[in-house]
Structure 1
């Protein structure tokens, strides 16, 4: 039997061919927008009027031998911890990361860093003593697939700044090569890092200066977060009581596996808020790669079967962003890139530890972010409806 070319074989697999086309197109766009090295090298003087985000960064990445990018996309031998201060320019637009075209960057126009200091484990524990605000709350963020180290730092700084949550920010950055063609490598790196994330979560929860921990994870980072919480629950008997909320944005999680992970957390689990979109193009490709199993972040809430399941799920809030049109062109990062969703996030999900009944006010504008029933639609200042399905109450 003659050997077929790869393209003739792909012709027999239209779904896979479509996935390859999407990935190749996205890869070409990414290559055109590749960033220079050294963007995290601290600038000496921040811009007048710039704001700063002072964060703790824990990473399982390998250190960059050249020193230009501090950490690579390869896997390190141990957990590294740093204190990084990001300067956000006075011209910043909510939802954007003003990326420098070159290094060193102009702090009046672009995101820059003002300091990066390596910390020992004891110094990292002391960081909570000096950085937790009067709210005594910590936000741990886990980035997603295709994210270089500098992108994880600047994106989290943007989220912290734009939500104005008033929480001590902690970034967990796992080894992603920052390439659309390295999906499987990133997936294995996510699994590789779950134990270290569990250490970070337990360190935050054990600090006497911390009363509450919120975990926010995006895309493939949701796998790291769920596996870390599952590890803790299986070893300790439960997730720490201080871990009150878990926010999963566009989670790249197998729906069946997610149900099992949640069950393994036990009855005393955190409250979950999940951002979904039936129009998430990135998760469509992920679904094809993963054997056509629906991804949690791409469930279609117009289907009655999903709505019925969610209504009976205690301690879950699902927010449907399918009709939001601003943000990224893949509809995969709207939690951070859509000004409307960022506003919702800051006004309710983080600032108050979850959406609550009653109208919210932010800067004098009514958000109308009530979530007291099923299928609640947010209107008022939002240009497109956001549907909320609330299943049961907080444990």
Structure 2
């Protein structure tokens, strides 16, 4: 199949496009009893659109912008779904709706907002993937926060995506364009005394941006900021050889890494084809060698979602659309709890491989899982250099390992 044929197939799979024009806040009205609310801080390297209905477009801004956004979510909805309005203005009883938008001009204003939304000092930084509008990323984070039940203050970092399937290369370069802005945002967040710890949740092409920003931080400082406790990579669109180098160059100690993978991810299959047929990190089988041994030695938790049923035809958003998986993120991964104890109730046939030992860890609803998913986990020793876990390094790195 030619590259053009693959892109056309992907275009057909992705449907009719994106809904826009939903960012204008609803006029003040009496609270609707059947709604919940998610407040978030949004940092972006997108260009302002000049239209309050969209706020930001897919072009690149010379400077980052910060905005407070509040989203109303109808409680009578299926977990894992985003209820886009069929007409505007949205109906809060049935649709996701923006209720507040406020530009933030200074770091002091941003810190004041965080103090007003403490959640125990825990922060979640979400970085969206390829082919996303500003609205897409705002509504997706609101859905994840609500459905996971996480106790963390949500911060969205949205980079300039043109939200077009044929703009893959533009989007990839936009992540490179945004590396320093994300690094600075993470540093600013970590410097806030009200922030105790940070979890990074990145999806698809956004995982490249996350790894590059953390790598920059590691090169500058010798290690990632100690407040960044967890890094969760969902369907990572990263060349697996490049990830091996990025991981080592983070320095030590490293955050706890969790990777969600799916071998039936059609979007990553296309990415692999147009990227020189090198395996994408999010599409490997973590139970096969050499991946299993390398992940275990590095202390990386790899969760295989191949058998989890997806609502999207690309099988690319399972981490957010499966109620059990999104709750796993909010209730266990962000709090550093192990996955291999009797308290995990993910569903039927979920097994874990820890140090070569296989054990069952719970049961998942039949509607969510068709067959067992496999979890490969090894607790991370933050004081141990895991460079031996990745043997696909060049001679220079082998002869000059990172100092501790």
TM-score, normalised with respect to structure 1:
0.89
Aligned partner of 1:152 among 131, 137, 142: 137
Counterpart of 1:4?
A: none
> Is 2:327 the partner of 1:343?
yes
What secondary structure does 1:176 align onto?
Answer: coil
Aligned residues of 2:341 and 2:361 also touching (Cα < 8 A) = no
1:42: how far off? 0.7
Check 1:17–1:173 CA distance in 2 against 1; reply closer, same or farther (3 A cut).
closer
1:251 to 211, 220, 236: 236
Counterpart of 2:312 in 1: which secondary structure?
coil
Shift of 1:151: 0.6
Q: For residue 300 of structure 1, what is the aligned residue in structure 2?
A: 285
- In structure 2, the residue matched to 1:194 is 179
Superposition map of 1:160-175 within 5 A: 160-175=145-160
Residue aligned with 1:346, SS? helix
> What's the secondary structure of 2:98's corresponding residue?
strand
- 1:328 and 2:340 are equivalent in the alignment: no
Q: State the distance in 2 between where 1:85 and 1:267 align.
A: 37
SS of 1:75's equivalent in the other structure is: strand
Secondary structure of 2:315's aligned partner: coil
Counterpart of 2:64 in 1: which secondary structure?
Answer: strand
Tell me the residue number matched to 2:374. 387
Kindly indicate whether residue 62 of structure 2 is the aligned counterpart of residue 94 of structure 1: no
Aligned alpha-carbon RMSD (Å)? 2.2
CA contact (8 A) 2:224 2:252 kept: no
Of 129, 133, 136, the match for 2:115: 129
**Cα gap change, 1:378/1:323 in structure 2, threshold over 3 Å: closer, same or farther?**
farther
Which residue of 40, 46, 59 maps to 1:61?
46
Partner of 1:38: 21
Preserved CA contact (<8 Å) 1:376 1:388: no
Residue 128 of structure 1 and its aligned partner are, at CA, apart by 2.2
Deviation per CA, 1:197-256, whole angstroms, max 9, x where unpaired?
111111111111111110000000001101111111111222111101100000000101
Structure 2 gap ranges (5+): 383-404
Does 2:227 match 1:242?
yes
Question: Which residue does the alignment assign to 1:3?
Answer: none
The match for 2:68 is 83
Contact 2:21–2:53, Cα closer than 8 Å, also in 1: yes
1:176 paired with 2:181, answer no
Distance in 2, Cα, partners of 1:262 & 1:367:
31
Alpha-carbon distance in structure 1 between the residues aligned to 2:156 and 2:131: 16
Between the two proteins, the alignment pairs up a number of residues equal to: 374
Residues 226, 261 of structure 1: 8 Å contact kept: yes
Shift of 1:378: 4.2
Q: TM-score under structure 2 normalisation?
A: 0.87
Q: 1:230 to 1:361 in 2, by over 3 A?
A: closer
**Partners in 1 of 2:170 and 2:380 — Cα distance?**
38
Residues 281-292 of structure 1 aligned to structure 2 (within 5 Å): 281-292=266-277
Deviation at 1:359, TM superposition (A): 2.1
Q: Secondary structure at the match of 2:51?
A: coil
Q: Which residue matches 2:389?
A: none
User: What is residue 19 of structure 1 aligned with on the other side?
Assistant: 6
Q: 2:313, 2:338 → 1: CA distance?
A: 27
Change (3 A) 1:369 1:294: closer
In 2, distance between residues paired with 1:201 and 1:191?
16
CA distance change for structure 1 residues 160 and 294 in 2, over 3 Å: closer, same or farther? same
Task: State the 1:386 CA deviation.
Answer: 2.2
Ranges in structure 1 where 5+ consecutive residues have no aligned partner = 1-13
